[in-house]
Structure 1
Amino acid sequence: MGKLKKNKMVDQCERLQLQSAGITKYVAEVLTGKSQSAVSMASAARELVIQRLSVVRSLCESEEQRLLEQVHGEEERAHQSILTQRVHWAEMLQKLDTIRTSLVDMLTHLDDLQLIQKEQEVFERTEEAEGILDPQESEKLHFNPKCTQSPLLTQLWAAAVLSSFSGTEDVRVDERTVSPFLQLSDDGRTLTFSAKKSKACADGPERFDHWPNALATTCFQSGLHGWVVNVQNSCAYKVGVATGQLPRKGSGSDCRLGHNAFSWVFSRYDRDFCFSHDGQHEALGLLRCPVRLGVLLDLRAQELLFFEPSSGTVLHTHRAPFPAPLFPVFAVADQTISIIC
């Protein structure tokens, strides 16, 4: 019996010795190899990051130079047009002054018979003056801000803004505005469409009573703002901005997003996408349905941009004077959409 126990202990010691040897070998060979591999791969990863960012940086610098040259060129063109106009109208003023002086001189120094004899000359002078047209407003005299438009700059800018704004814009739906055809989640971020009109919603002046619309609690007076909406579950929605003057009552187009002067929206209905404002609908030929929809509102630049964060694609840009304040606005006629940030 004692010998059996002794043999078991010997076996146990041998197993421990083998286990120790295995661990020693693992530490000496495998972990050392892993450490060297990690150092090598980290070095390669750093080089890749530096290399790729260097390419991006170089591209950005080239684009910056190109756009700044375009701005300078447009500024020079506008100044040259203005200078040309100044020279032209200075000549016309001198010409009109000469004609007027000549006519006044005739009236002062000639009698009626002499004036009749000078009738042809008076006619020619008068016709010459009438040939000088009044100044007309011209786009050539204006600096054209379109010279700064760049798909590359817009795409990089939109991605950077949405990334920097992640979690900082607390956009939530104002429960008082929610249509009775919509249900609002407890956190105020998800809207769900219901074909059956809810009777639980107390009517009020802020609430949309027909179209499945809702406004956010947040309003923007100035500056740059961005938020993202998850739209992958809905085949019928609208996302954009609206003024607080947007009518809320009735089934007319004045309350329908994108069909009035108070709202600017990106909309989807099945496979059709468009941008709508004041009853004007611009079809957008998107190849695939966005999963997430980023909205950027730059009130300083008077620009509204819709962006797909996952692909970095600019879906639509609208540039026009916007009133303030503006509210994020939503409509859902199929399943749900959710504000992410």
Structure 2
Amino acid sequence: MMTEDDFTTCDLTTCSSSASEEALNAANIRETEPIFSVLTGGMRERAGDTVSPGTCRGGGGGGGGGGSSCASPTTTSDTESGIFSVESEVCVEHESELDWFCGTEQKLICSRCATAGPCRGHAVTPLASRVTAVRNQLVDVCEKMQLQALRIDKFIEQTLETKKQKLQAEASRARDQVLAQVSAAREALEKEEQRVLEEVQREQERVEQCLLTQRAHWSQALASLSQTRAHLVHTLTHTADAQLVTSIQEIAERVEYAEGVGNPCDTEQLNLNPNCSNSKLLRGLWAAALLLGPNAYGSSLLKFDERTVSPLLSLSDDLRTLTFLQKKPRHSPPYDPARFDSWPNALGSQSVSSGSHSWVVDVGQSGAFKIGVCYASLERKGSGNEARLGHNAQSWVLSRYDDVYSYCHAGKEVPLQVVRRPQRIGVLLDWPSQTLLFYEPDSCTVLHAVTQHFEAPLLPACAVTDRSITILH
């Protein structure tokens, strides 16, 4: 980068053209400072290169005086720049031409100002050299600007245009991918919908056929029974005693036939099998729509009801973490009819009787736990199955014990195939469809789902016998 140190200073009469050429060559091969630095005086001359305007470099004696061989200052013009020249101004103090430039005070001066005036000892430069350097600076700046303009134009015409074309191609591929995925999902959904609807239709026709068969059978039995009864009544009221006694055999046969008709009874064959509408695909899509859709449900205020917490558990201050106590506490909590006294259970603080609700429990630290729902009327006292989650008709839970996962209700366990150990387990309760669903939030994988008619509001229910579990918000 060129600085004022690169400018050669000489006296007013003997400054050689070779010095100017060396300065120009240096200006051409070095990186140039910004023009703003030049114009604000960012360049400084080296003091050792400064030449007093009154010093002679040719033959003859030194010192200024009438006998000096140095020529007097002359008017200087910037003919080397090839742009334009300016007439030199006159120093007010010395009435001499301002053909020098003081780099220290950043102003034009005359030779006398530099030798005996206020700028004596300052870094001074011939005005012509200074002008040449500044013009060279401007030329370099303009060239840089031109190169920058070319780069910008190239960026606009090539880079941005290429980016635009690439963007259009990528956006088109992304749209095609979305459409393809939606089309595949729609096709699979339509096929599954058709299959399930046909299964429901077949089940409906089966039940209707059973109902028709039962109706025909029992209608015929009713008619036969009515006819037999009418005959027996007629025999009882219109037959003479002697004849009645001799008709005992006939009467017994009719009574035996009437007794063989039997009593009608309701059976499961006369009901629609609820499993006919079961579909893993539909259930998974439905759950994903609720859990991942724009209107995802969640119970952000769900906590444990401290009144229900068993003495075998400790409850955190934020009422969200249950920890199993390895040793029984010395002092039992005060008696509360809502508290479990034998099983390590605790219930949630909010009941569900409408809408859709979901909550997530962190189970990563526990190897034995139960998560689910129960009726508020669940027994709280004693060590019987009435207060044991999953072992009565009032609770539905997902259980883990010894790396075995199962669904428990009314004392019946359904083993669950879990591919990987869940760190979190979510519960989704959709009241309108009477569906309870357990899922893994990280992959939104449905672990188990059950549809059952719930007769009363449900409370979140948990149990833990290993370390701790936490309700996440």
- For normalisation by structure 2, the TM-score amounts to 0.62
1:325 maps to 2:457: yes
Q: Which range moves more in the overlay, 72-81 or 255-264?
A: 255-264
Is contact 1:182–1:212 with CA below 8 Å preserved after alignment? no
Q: Distance in 1 between matches of 2:327 and 2:149?
A: 71
1:301-340 counterparts in 2 under 5 A? 301-340=433-472
Corresponding position of 1:216? 348
Q: Which residue of 2 aligns with 1:145?
A: 274
Task: Give the CA RMSD over aligned residues.
Answer: 3.3
> Mean alpha-carbon deviation: is it higher for 313-322 or for 17-26?
17-26
Find the aligned partners of 2:426 and 2:182 in 1 and give their Cα distance.
24
Per mean C-alpha deviation after superposition, the further-off stretch among 237-246 and 52-61 is 237-246
Relative to structure 1, is the Cα distance of residues 87 and 255 closer, same or farther in structure 2, using a 3 angstrom cutoff?
Answer: closer
Cα distance per residue 1:272-298 (max 9 Å; x no partner) = 112223443333232321233221223
SS at match of 2:414: strand
Q: Which is strand-richer, 1 or 2?
A: 1
1:169 equivalent in alignment to 2:299: yes
Change (3 A) 1:263 1:162: same
User: Are residues 1:290 and 2:422 paired?
Assistant: yes
Aligned to 2:403: 271
Q: CA deviation at 1:53?
A: 0.5
Contact 1:220 1:324 in 2 (8 A): no
**Closer/same/farther in 2, CA of residues 131 and 258 from structure 1, 3 Å limit:** closer
1:140 alignment partner AA:
Q
| From 155, 172, 189, the counterpart of 1:60 | 189
AA paired with 1:172? K
Equivalent residue for 1:42?
171
Change (3 A) 1:192 1:118: closer
Amino acid in structure 2 at the alignment position of 1:38: L
**Deviations along 1:224-269, whole A, 9 cap, x unmatched?**
3222233334333221112333455666655443344443211223
Specify every segment of 5 or more residues in structure 1 that has no aligned partner in the other structure, as ranges: none
The one-letter code of the counterpart of 2:256 is E
- CA 1:141 to 1:253, structure 2 compared with 1: closer, same or farther past 3 Å? closer
Give the SS at the match of 1:238. Answer: strand
Letter in 2 for 1:174: D
- What is the aligned partner in structure 2 of residue 103 from structure 1? 232
Using a 3 Å threshold, how does the CA distance of structure 1 residues 204 and 43 change in structure 2: closer, same or farther?
A: farther
Residues 279, 12 of structure 1: alpha-carbon distance in 2 compared, 3 angstrom cutoff: farther
Q: Secondary structure at the match of 1:106?
A: helix
Q: Do the aligned partners of residues 105 and 194 (structure 1) sit closer, same or farther apart at CA in structure 2, a change above 3 Å counting?
A: closer
2:344, 2:182 → 1: CA distance? 45
Shift of 1:153: 1.2
2:157 matched to which residue of 1? 28
Query: Per-residue displacement from partner, 1:172-229 (whole Å, max 9, x unpaired)?
Result: 333444456334263x444455646679996462455665443222211233322223
Q: How many residues align?
A: 340
Higher Rg of the two aligned structures: 2
TM-score by length of 1: 0.83
1:229 aligns with 2:394: no
Structure 1 residue 79 and structure 2 residue 208: aligned?
yes
Secondary structure, counterpart of 1:78 in structure 2? helix
**Contact 1:159–1:309 at 8 Å: present in 2 too?**
no
- Is the Cα contact below 8 Å between 1:162 and 1:294 reproduced in 2? no
The letter for the 1-side match of 2:304 is V
Q: 1:236 to 1:123 in 2, by over 3 A?
A: closer
Aligned partner letter, 1:268: R
> 1:169 corresponds to which letter in structure 2?
S
Percent identity over the alignment?
Answer: 45
- Taking the aligned partners of 2:190 and 2:273, their CA distance within structure 1 comes to 22
Structure with more relative contact order (C-alpha pairs < 8 Å, separation 6 or more): 1
SS in 1 for 2:231: helix
Kept after mapping to 2: 8 A contact 1:229/1:339: yes
Letter in 1 for 2:356: L
